[in-house]
Amino acid sequence: MNVLLDNFALFREGFLGTVELTALSGAIALVLGVIMAAFRVSPVPPLRAFGTVWVTLLRNTPLTLLFFIAALVLPRLGLNTWSFFRLAVLALSCYTSAFICEAVRSGINTVPLGQAEAARSLGMTFTQTLRLIILPQATRTVLPPIGSLLIALTKNSAIAGGFSVFELFSVQKTLGEEGYNIFAIFIWVAVAYLIITLFISAVFRLLETRLAVAR
Amino acid sequence: MTEVPVPKDAVPAADDLVVLKDVNKHFGALHVLQDINLSIGRGEVVVVIGPSGSGKSTLCRAVNRLETIDSGLITIDGKPLPQEGKELARLRADVGMVFQSFNLFAHKTVLENVTLGQVKVRKAGKKAAEERARSLLDRVGVGSQADKYPAQLSGGQQQRVAIARALAMEPKVMLFDEPTSALDPEMINEVLEVMQQLARDGMTMVVVTHEMGFARSAANRVVFMADGRIVEQATPDQFFSNPRSDRAKDFLSKILHH
């Protein structure tokens, strides 16, 4: 108990750091992921190729390596005014967007082809068809995997702690160096992560039940 | 229903709305459309019949480019079908399509299904679109179902909503791709009656169907397809009482003698 109460401000700062990282990267990853999924099913070949390259590169690169690129290479290529926090968000959101793209694409594939054909024969453009007809119907299928991806993102954000961003994992490092009982620290750090991940699970469970009724 | 006399001339009018010229299409090794030449006049009702796999659905879907063609030319109201893009979308808005499997938007109510195209494609006001949708739904006899979702309707009702959805765009021509093939027998008539009314109102229609009764009563012209070719074209009377080709004779003998 001591560890938490004695260092509550530190824990709070770390907790908020992880929440911020996760929320911001998650939001950007969702937007990017949907855009990339749209690219991958678009009738325009260069967009399709771009989406494929994006997913292949980001999904198959270790996240730690992406962090090294973001923290060490990108500043030399002109992003030298960016804080480590921003660079961490960039790495996390790009990485996660590749997975979200594939989840969304699998959702798109579950919507019967006839829905798109009907939309197109009414004169809707590709973007309208996707936005008004396909994506709303894909959402229900896509929610569970996206929930899992955001939980994975929460835990992946710990890597940012190794790159000068203050979050939950950095709390463990700081307190460990100060000589507190390592198990006590880990338990409280784990509880803090659980709060975030259980919150995400709850939100997604709510969304799923909401959408189940809407039909 | 009152009988209104329909002019039954097999000769295409000078004023052709849909023209297919030397159209060819392959699915891999299968030559599904072979040198198709077909003109459909304004206000004409053309029924396309033929055995399964004869290419009649593909022909129908090629007219609004849901199927691309390998060679040849398709024009609608004098304009050749453009490549995929905004231009094609605009043209498709003028061509109503009714599918075998209805394809109503599952996440939208019946009313929304009929207003969506008007609002998003025709840029009509929401109120005007709803009024028009309700009058069309009344016209096809499903006005009381406006606030339900498609899955809550019977097949016949769904297909009538699909017809209303297409009509809401004020199309120049309506394509029907086997509109009654997925329906229970007792629901076929309610859909055919709507189509017959439409034909009497002067809508240009291309109907792929196995309903010979509809072909007889509503068509101006019957097009018989087999193995990717148009084998015979005639008025329904000529075709059903006195088919010229052996292929058509064979087909009719199989479906009419029960």
pLDDT in tens, B31-82: 999 999 999 999 999 999 999 889 999 999 999 999 999 999 999 998 999 8
Q: How far is B5 from chain A (nearest CA, A)?
A: 31
Q: Does some domain include residue B123? A: yes
Q: Assess B169–A contact: CB distance below 8 Å, yes or no.
A: yes
Q: Does some domain include residue B2? A: no
- The CATH number covering residue A14 comes to 1.10.3720.10
**Chain centroid to CA B52: how far?**
17
Q: Does some domain include residue B95? A: yes
Token representation of residue A116: 């798109």
Q: Does some domain include residue B5? A: no
Residue B24 has pLDDT above 80, yes or no: yes
Query: Which residues are CB-neighbours of B175 under 8 A, at least 6 positions away?
Result: B60, B61, B63, B64, B95, B96, B97, B98, B205, B206
User: Which of A173, A169, A175, A166 has its CA nearest to residue A156?
Assistant: A169
Residue A31 has pLDDT above 80, yes or no: yes
Q: Does some domain include residue B3? A: no
Enumerate residues 57 to 116 of chain A having a beta carbon within 8 A of any beta carbon in chain B. 112, 114-115
Give the ranges where B11-125 is alpha helix by DSSP (H): 56-63, 86-93, 110-120
Q: Give chain B positions within 8 Å (CB) of A115.
A: 103, 105-106
pLDDT in tens, A94-109: 999 999 999 999 999 9
What is the maximal distance between C-alpha atoms in chain A? 69
pLDDT of residue B15: 79
Q: How many domains does chain B have?
A: 1
**Average pLDDT taken over every residue of chain A:** 92
Stretch (H or E) spanning A173: helix A168-177
Q: How many domains does chain A have?
A: 1
Instruction: List the domain range (segments joined by +) for residue B191.
Output: 16-254
pLDDT over 90, % of chain B: 85
- What's the pTM? 0.85
- The CATH number covering residue B127 comes to 3.40.50.300
Q: Does some domain include residue B62? A: yes
Q: How far is B92 from chain A (nearest CA, A)?
A: 5
Measured between alpha carbons, how far is B64 from B31 in angstroms, rounded to an integer?
20
- The shortest CB-CB distance from B105 to any of A118, A126, A214 is to A118
| pLDDT band (50, 70, 90) for residue B7 | very low
Instruction: List the domain range (segments joined by +) for residue A192.
Output: 2-211
pLDDT of residue B257: 63
The answer to whether the beta carbons of residues A166 and A20 sit under 8 Å apart is no
Q: Does some domain include residue B8? A: no
pLDDT in tens, A44-96: 999 999 999 999 999 999 999 999 999 889 888 888 788 899 999 999 999 99
pLDDT of residue B170: 94
Angle made by CA atoms A113, A117, A122, in degrees to the nearest 5: 150
| pLDDT band (50, 70, 90) for residue B3 | very low
